A and B are shown apart, each in its own frame.
Chain A
Amino acid sequence: MVKLYAMSILYKNPNSAVWLKAAYDLQTFSFFQRGSVQEFMAFVSKTIVERTQTAARQSVKEGEYMCHVYVRGDNLAGVIISDHEYPQRVSHTLLTKVLDEFAQKYPPHVWPTSSESSIAFNQINTYLAKYQNPREADAMTKIQEELDETKIILHSTIEAVLERGEKLDDLVAKSEGLSIQSKAFYKTARKTNSCCNFG
C-alpha cells in the first residue's frame, strides 16, 4: 500500500531532539490502536533523529514500514513514516521541501526555544494529505534532480540505527513518551511477531 502515516519536524539539540510540529494520518489503524500507534511513531521519530548525524539522510526499513530522516546542516530535522511501497525519492524530496518552507517561516534562532504548541505550521497537514497520492503531487518529474548531493544511508531494521549496546526493548521500557498501554501493545506486537512493529 502506498501510504504516508506521519511527518514530523524536530530540532536536534546536542543531547536530545525536541518537537516543532507533527502531523499524522492513522485512519487505516483500528480505533483503539490509533493512540498507541501515534505515540510509537513519535517515539521512533525522536529516537532516530537523535541517532542521525548533522547533515545526513537515513532511510530505515522496519517490517512493512519505512522511516525517512533528514537532519540539515543547521540541525533542523524532518522525519517521514510511510509504507514501504511509498517511493523513497518522493519522501526525501518532500522532507527537503517542508523543512525549507518551515525555515522560511520560523528563523533558526527560535528553534531551540520553541515547542509544538507555540508553532503554527498547518502546511504540514496539507502536505501530508496531498502527498498521499504521489501521482498527483506536483513537479514529480523533477524529483530526481531536486535531491541534493547528500547520500541516503539505508538500514534494514531500527536496531541497526541504534548505538552500540542499545536495545530497542530497553529504550521502549525507559521511554517517558509512551503510556503503559502502548508499552503493553509493543510487547504483544513483539511477541506475536505481528506486522505492526511500530505500534
Chain B
Amino acid sequence: MHGDQFPAAEKILSDIENVFKRDKDLKDFEILPVTVGENKSPVLHAEHTLGLQEWCVRHLYVHVYHKLTNLKQQQRLRREDPNTLSRLLLGGVLLNPDCTFLWNIRRELIVMGRFDLFSDLHINAVTLSRRPKSSEAFVYRRWLLSRILESYLDASTTLSILEEELRVTLMAANRYANNYHAWNHRMWIMSHLPQAQDHFINEWVSSEEWISKHVSEHSGLQYREYLFKQIMQNVGHTYFCHKLRLSLENFFLPLKSSELYCVSLKDSTPLKQLHSLVIDILEQKDFCSSCPIKCGSNPHILHIGFLAYELLLVTELIRLYPGHEALWCHRRFVLFSLYSIVKEINTYEASKSDISDGVPHPKAQKLSVSDIEIECNFLWSVIVRHEESLLEECSLCTPEESYQSKLAFRHQEWVEKILKRSGSCVKQSTS
C-alpha cells in the first residue's frame, strides 16, 4: 500500500490516545454501529467508556497494520518516533487484540524499557472489554504480570493487582459465555500471586453466586473445583464452619432413619470418631468449643462438610434449572471426591487392623476388610441414599424436561459403574 489513503487516521489515533491519557479509570471499549461518517471525530467518551464509530474501523486498522508492517520490514521500528509508534500500537491492539504481531512489538518495547508495565496492563484490560475471549490478550497479560512479579512488591501493590485481575477476569467471564481463557487466567492468578492463598475461601464463597447464575458453564464450575482442591490442601478452621454445620446436618439426615444410626463401632478409630461427631451434629448437641463442627478433632469432617455443602447446592440447582449437563458433571466431581474420602478411611482402617500388637496378620486380611467396610457404611449409605432419591425424582420429569431425564439416566449409569461397583460389598451388606 502506498501513500496515506486515510488522512484522518493519525487524528483519530491521537484522539483515542488522549482519552487514555485523560481517563485513568477507562474500563470499556466498544464499536458503535454508525455506518456513515459525518464530518466529526468518530471517537466518543462517556462514563469510562470509549466508543468508536464503525465507519472508520476498517480504514483505521488497514492504516495501522500497513504502517507497522512497513516499519518492521524496513527494520525501522526502533528508530521510529516513540509517540507515533505508541499511538499506532494502541489503535492496533484495540481493534484486533488477536494479532500476536502487535503484542510482540509491545513486548519488544517493554523489554527495551520504552513502555510502562502498568499502563500496558490497563490498555490490555480495555481491549479485553471488547474481546473478552481473546487468548492472545490473556497470554500477553500473563507475560506482563510475570515481569511485574519478578521484582519485589509490597503487600498493598500485590493486593491491588489481585483485585484488578479478579475484576478483569470476572468482567470477561460475564461478557462471553463459556470463557475458558478468563477462568484459566483467574486460576493462574490464584496460583501465582504471593498472597492469593489468603483469598481462597472468599473466592469459594463468592463463586457460589456466579455458578448459580451461570448454570450451563462448566468453566466456572471447574474454577470452583480448583478452589476446592486448593482449600483441601491446607484446610483449617474458618468462619465458614458455621455454614458447614447446617449442611452436614442436612446431608446426614437420611442417617436418622437408618439402622446404622446407633450402631456401635469398635475402638476409637478415626471412623468411630467421625461417626460420633456426626451423631452429635444430628442431635444438635451444643459444642462448647469454638468450632461448631469440632473441625480440629477429626481430619475428615471438614472435607466432608465442604463436599456436603456442595452436593446440597448442586442438588438445588439441578432441581431449579433442569437440563444442564454442566451441573451433573460437577455433581460427579463432588461424588468422586466423597468416594475418595470413603476409600481413604477404608484403607487406613484396613492397614491399622492388620497390625495388632505391632505384628501384621496377613491371613486375617480378607475378613477384616469386609468388617471395616460395614463399619464405613454410614457415610457410604448416606451418599447412595442421596443419589437414589435425586434419580427417583428425575424419573418423574414432565415430557418437556426430557433432556433432564436423559442426563439423569446417564448419571445413573455412572453411579452404577463407578461408585457402586467399587463399593459393591458395601451395598450388599446394607441390603
Contact = CB atoms under 8 A, between A and B. Distances in A.
A85 B321 contact: yes
Interface in B258-302: none
Contacts of A188: 33, 35, 54
A85 B51 contact: no
B32 A85 contact: no
A85 B33 contact: no
Contacts of B175: 28
A120 interface: no
Interface residues of A, number: 21
Contacts of A187: 33
Interface string B22-35: 00000010101111
B35 A30 contact: no
A85 B35 contact: no
A140 B54 CA distance: 45
Contacts of B30: 30-33
A172 to B, nearest CB: 14
B49 A133 contact: no
A165 to B, nearest CB: 28
Interface string A170-185: 0000000000010011
A139 interface: no
Given A85-B321, A140-B320, A188-B54, A31 B28 contact: yes
B231 interface: no
A48 B173 CA distance: 32
Given A32-B49, A85-B216, A2 B321 contact: yes
Interface in B321-348: 321, 324
A2 B28 contact: no
Contact of B214 (A2, A135, A184, A185): A2
A134 interface: yes
Interface size class of chain B, counting residues whose CB lies under 8 Å from the partner chain: 20 to 34
A153 B49 CA distance: 41
Q: Which of A2, A30, A134 has the largest number of chain B CB atoms within 10 A?
A: A30
Contacts of A140: 320
Contacts, number: 57
B112 interface: no
A31 B213 contact: no
Contacts of A132: 213
A152 to B, nearest CB: 10
A87 B33 contact: no
B316 A135 contact: yes
B212 interface: yes
B1 interface: no
Nearest to B217: A1
Given A133-B212, A187-B33, A87 B51 contact: no
A181 B46 CA distance: 17
A3 interface: yes
Nearest to A33: B30
B235 interface: no
Q: Is the interface of B mostly helix, strand, loop or mixed?
A: mixed
A134 B28 CA distance: 29
Interface in A23-58: 28, 30-33
Contacts of B214: 1-2, 85
Contacts of B216: 85
Nearest to A141: B319
A47 B49 CA distance: 32
B49 A31 contact: yes
Nearest to A144: B398
A132 B212 CA distance: 11
A74 to B, nearest CB: 29
A4 to B, nearest CB: 11
Interface in B107-137: 129
Given A1-B177, A2-B321, A188-B54, A85 B215 contact: yes
A87 B216 CA distance: 13
Nearest to A28: B174
Contacts of B35: 184, 188
Contacts of A181: 33-34
B49 A87 contact: no
B47 interface: yes
A26 B212 CA distance: 19
Contact of B49 (A2, A30, A185): A30
Interface string B205-244: 0000100111110000000000000000000000000000
Contacts of A85: 214-216, 321, 324
Nearest to B213: A2
A134 to B, nearest CB: 6
A2 B321 CA distance: 10
A33 B47 CA distance: 13
A184 B32 CA distance: 10
Contacts of B28: 30-31
B406 to A, nearest CB: 18
Interface of B: 28, 30, 32-35, 44, 46-47, 49, 51, 54, 129, 174-175, 177, 209, 212-216, 316-317, 320-321, 324
22 contacts: A1-B177, A2-B212, A2-B213, A2-B215, A2-B321, A3-B213, A30-B28, A30-B30, A30-B49, A31-B28, A31-B30, A31-B51, A32-B46, A33-B30, A85-B214, A133-B209, A135-B320, A140-B320, A184-B34, A185-B33, A187-B33, A188-B54
In the A-B complex, the 7 residue pairs with the smallest Cβ-Cβ separation, listed nearest first, are A188-B33, A31-B49, A2-B213, A30-B30, A32-B51, A185-B33, A31-B47
Given A1-B213, A2-B321, A133-B209, 6 more contacts: A2-B212, A31-B51, A132-B213, A134-B320, A187-B33, A189-B33
